Amino acid sequence: MIDLYTWTTPNGEKPVTMLEECGLDYRLHLVDISSGAQKAPDFLAINPNGKIPAIVDNDGGQSIRVFESGAILIYLAEKTGQFLPTSGQARAETLAWTFFQVGGVGPMLGQWNHFAKFAKEKIPYAIDRYRDESLRILRVLDERLKSNDYLAGDTYTIADIINFGWVRIAVSGKGLKDDGANELESLLAWVERVGSRPAVQHSLHKLETAKNERG
Ligand SMILES: N[C@@H](CCC(=O)N[C@@H](CS)C(=O)NCC(=O)O)C(=O)O
């Protein structure tokens, strides 16, 4: 059985969706990052970086910990043989668009979110810089999706799973919709396509329900 440690954020959603898509059994442990639970010693033993998400895989006679959402998705893809092509251009595209999220989409949108919404001091330079870079990144995704249904090409992969959470928010009213994201038609169609998958809907519902039940 896999233990998943996560929270209701775009990064936290990724492994829930992957586990649901793969049909794996798992125990969901909510780590309330608003209370600082991610910095507690027992969690730091699983992720020394003190951030969700993380998993511990207890199958197979030994416990394997994995942190960083990209590493978790690749680990689960290799464990199950799903959502990561094994060779050729399809594998290269899947890994490239996966790391594009980890190194670009996540950090840039995360910084924009911080400076535009949470920073007590509003710094126009920082807000503009991260908004413009986020929009540029969204346009790169849109361009890719003009001729491909999914980021790696014809098939749904971990690249779609990992990009979905942040992009879904980015194109919404909570994100950059009115800053130009609403014009990215191929990206919007992809958000619909991925968001209509039963496992994606189920994972978001499951995470939110678990949080609400916790009170
Ligand atoms: N690169 C990491 C980012 C993880 C991350 O930023 N997690 C956030 C929640 S979305 C977190 O735990 N924040 C709490 C903190 O930084 O203390 C990944 O992809 O797993």
* Domains, the chain: 2-82+199-214 (3.40.30.10), 88-197 (1.20.1050.10)
Nearest CA to ligand 1 atom 11: 51
Mean pLDDT of 146-153: 98
Q: Is the CB of 69 under 6 A from ligand 1?
A: yes
Question: What tens digit of pLDDT does each residue of 25-65 get?
Answer: 999 999 999 999 999 999 999 999 999 999 999 998 899 99
Question: What tens digit of pLDDT does each residue of 170-215 get?
Answer: 999 999 999 999 999 999 999 999 999 999 999 999 999 999 998 6
Q: Measure 88 CA to ligand 1 centroid, in angstroms.
A: 31
Q: Is the CB of 51 under 6 A from ligand 1?
A: yes
User: Which residue pairs, CB below 8 angstroms and at least 24 apart, start in 202-210?
Assistant: 202/20, 203/13, 203/16, 203/17, 203/19, 203/20, 204/13, 204/16, 204/17, 206/16, 206/20, 206/28, 207/6, 207/8, 207/12, 207/13, 207/16, 207/28, 208/8, 210/28, 210/30
Q: Is the CB of 11 under 6 A from ligand 1?
A: yes
Question: What tens digit of pLDDT does each residue of 114-143 get?
Answer: 999 999 999 999 999 999 999 999 999 999
Q: Measure 68 CA to ligand 1 centroid, in angstroms.
A: 8
pLDDT of residue 132: 98
Radius of gyration of the chain (CA): 17
pLDDT of residue 28: 97
pLDDT of residue 15: 98
pLDDT of residue 92: 98
Q: Is the CB of 152 under 6 A from ligand 1?
A: no
Q: Is the CB of 105 under 6 A from ligand 1?
A: no
Question: What tens digit of pLDDT does each residue of 65-97 get?
Answer: 999 999 999 999 999 999 999 999 999 999 999
pLDDT of residue 164: 98
Q: Which atom of ligand 1 is nearest to the CA of 102?
A: 19
pLDDT band at 167 (very low <50, low <70, confident <90, very high): very high
Q: Measure 204 CA to ligand 1 centroid, in angstroms.
A: 18
Q: Measure 52 CA to ligand 1 centroid, in angstroms.
A: 5
pLDDT of residue 61: 87
Q: Measure 71 CA to ligand 1 centroid, in angstroms.
A: 13
